[in-house]
Amino acid sequence: MNWSKALINPVIDKEFRLRMRSKRSMLSVLLYVLALGAIAMGFIYLFLYLGQRGPQRFDPQMSQMMFYVLSFAQLVLIAFMAPALTAGVISSEREKQTLSMLLTTQQSSATIVLSKLVSALSFMALIVLATLPVYSIVFLYGGISPKQLVSVFIFYLFVMLLLGSLGVMFSTLFKRTIVAIIVTYGAGLIIFLVTGLLYLFFMGIEQRNMYQSGQPIVPGSYSWVGYLLGLNPAGAMMSLFNPSFSEQVFMLRGGSLNSKAPIELWLEFFIVYSVVIVLALWVAIRNIRPVARRKRKVKISAQPPQGQETAGNEV
């Protein structure tokens, strides 16, 4: 059995050839790696030569901090690039008037949607993997284990899948690519920014009410507000770096460090947004053929009830 033909359908094959073999793709990878490399070199120069005490030694603690900076910088770059790569995969076909031709093929709706998503995310995954040489600088000075690096890259893949699924869904719901891209960026803004702001807002209210009430603080008490930060990618990724971060987020004053958080932030992030990914893909698959669905509904409504049909036959 030829596994390449079984796994790579014509839609994926066409998308791979268009995305991977163009000069624009090569230039995108180059600029992305150069941008992340400039951040790493700028961090090293800032702490080695522009410190208050003059030239300093780059120790494992500094290396760990640089790893955090690179990880959050790459998370921001993914948030900007993933919607642009996926929000137009279906709407662009509609604008070029090639979607109807694609729908007349033997490929199912699920195959078309998933193939478009996989092809777009594969290019983004290639860009992220191309930054591994930049992360190798961290291992020269220590402070980070390979397990942490692998967990961060898996987290990147999940965030790309989340933003990509939302982009494909909006690409099927809206006819114009620019509208789909704007709405996808708006959804990403809610996930990356609004969830963090809501956490800070409600946590401030919770702490103020606690101080004004004058009631004795129960040791080990937790607030529901911590669940909001579990919906934020930055908070979830921070819990991967520091396992005690989840306890610090949920814990109010008077808590014990030995008590565990109700749930790890990264685990909450994966559970909640896994449901969002499944729902987004389901909506995209259902709406890629709206004409066929309307015809099916009209056909069902045009059929007379079974009792009326029997009565007509008896007459």
**Per-residue pLDDT averaged across 34-59, rounded?**
74
pLDDT digits (tens, 9 = 90+) for 152-176: 999 999 999 999 999 999 999 988 8
**Per-residue pLDDT averaged across 60-73, rounded?**
86
Q: Which of 211, 228, 220 is nearest to 272 (CA)?
A: 228
pLDDT of the residue at 275: 96
Burial level of 194, CB count in 10 A (0-12/13-18/19+)? middle
Q: Which of 168, 155, 141 is nearest to 67 (CA)?
A: 141
The two structure tokens encoding residue 59 = 């120790």
pLDDT of the residue at 299: 53
Q: Which of 141, 134, 116 is nearest to 64 (CA)?
A: 141
Query: Contact at 8 Å (CB) between 82 and 164?
Result: yes
Q: Where does the pLDDT of residue 3 fall: very low under 50, low under 70, confident under 90, or very high at 90 and above?
A: very low
Query: Contact at 8 Å (CB) between 157 and 75?
Result: no
pLDDT digits (tens, 9 = 90+) for 192-202: 999 999 988 88
Would the pLDDT of 214 be above 70?
no
pLDDT digits (tens, 9 = 90+) for 131-144: 888 888 888 777 78
Cα–Cα distance, 109 to 90 (Å, whole number)? 11
Average pLDDT of the chain to the nearest whole number = 79
HSE at residue 140, side-chain half, CA atoms within 13 A, is 8
Where is average pLDDT lowest: 65-74, 143-152, 294-303? 294-303
pLDDT of the residue at 9: 67
pLDDT digits (tens, 9 = 90+) for 78-108: 999 888 888 888 888 888 888 777 778 777 8
Distances (CA, A) of 59 to 38, 51, 141, 167, 216: 20, 14, 6, 41, 44
R_g over Cα of the chain: 25
Q: Which residue type occupies 205?
A: I
Q: What is the per-residue DSSP string for 178-189?
A: HHHHHHHHHHHH
Query: Contact at 8 Å (CB) between 289 and 243?
Result: no
Q: Which of 168, 127, 110 is nearest to 20 (CA)?
A: 127
Burial level of 124, CB count in 10 A (0-12/13-18/19+)? buried
Query: Contact at 8 Å (CB) between 235 and 273?
Result: no
pLDDT of the residue at 273: 96
Distance between terminal CA atoms of the chain? 59
